Amino acid sequence: MAVISPNGIAGIVKDVSKHFSSVISVLHKQAKISAKIKKNGYTGTILWNGINYKIGTLKDIPTHVKLSTGDTVITSGYSSIFPEGILIGTIIDYKKEQGSNFYTIYLKFSEDYNKISYVYVINNLLKEEQKKLETISQND
C-alpha cells in the first residue's frame, strides 16, 4: 500500500501485523517510484542517491523532452501502489548524460523527510483485480 503525507509521497508498506506495519521509505536505496512530469506527461522512475534526504533523481526521461526548473513531478498511476497525481517534488536541475539519450533530473522532494510526523496509508481496493488483468494481458 502507498504511504503519503499531506505534502507528498512517503513510502510503501512492506509488512503488516495485527496492529503495526513497517514501511519502506522513499529514501530507501531500493525504492523505485513510477513518476511523471505533470506538464507533459513523460514518465520515469524516482530514485534516491543516498546522500541528501531532500533530493531525489528522476531517470528515464528522453533528452528530446523540454524541461524547466520548477516543473512539478507527480506519481504516474502506472502501478497498483500509488494512484496518479500524488506530489513528489519539483525539478531543481537536469543534465544530458554524455552518450545517453536520457536526462539525469534532480528534484527537491515536496516532503521534508526529516520532519515527517503524520502519514496516510492508501489501500487500493481494486488492486487484486488490476493485477489479475495485468497478468492476463502479459500472457497474451
pLDDT in tens, 15-46: 999 999 899 999 998 899 999 999 999 999 99
In this predicted structure, what is the pLDDT of residue 74?
98
Q: What domains are defined for the chain?
A: 2-130 (2.40.10.350)
Through-space distance between the first and last CA atoms of the chain, rounded to whole angstroms: 28
Buried/exposed code over 32-65 (b: 16+ C-beta within 10 A; e: otherwise): ebbbbbeeeebebebbbeeeeeeebebeebeeee
Helices (H) and strands (E) in the chain, counts: 1, 10
pLDDT average, residue stretch 88-115 = 95
User: Is the pLDDT reported for residue 119 higher than 80?
Assistant: yes
How far is the C-alpha of 66 from the C-alpha of 91, rounded, in Å?
A: 12
The Cα 131–Cα 45 span in angstroms is 20
The 10s digit of each residue's pLDDT in 80-93 is 789 899 999 999 99
The pTM for the full model equals 0.87
For residue 109, is pLDDT > 80?
Answer: yes
CA 79 to chain centre: 10
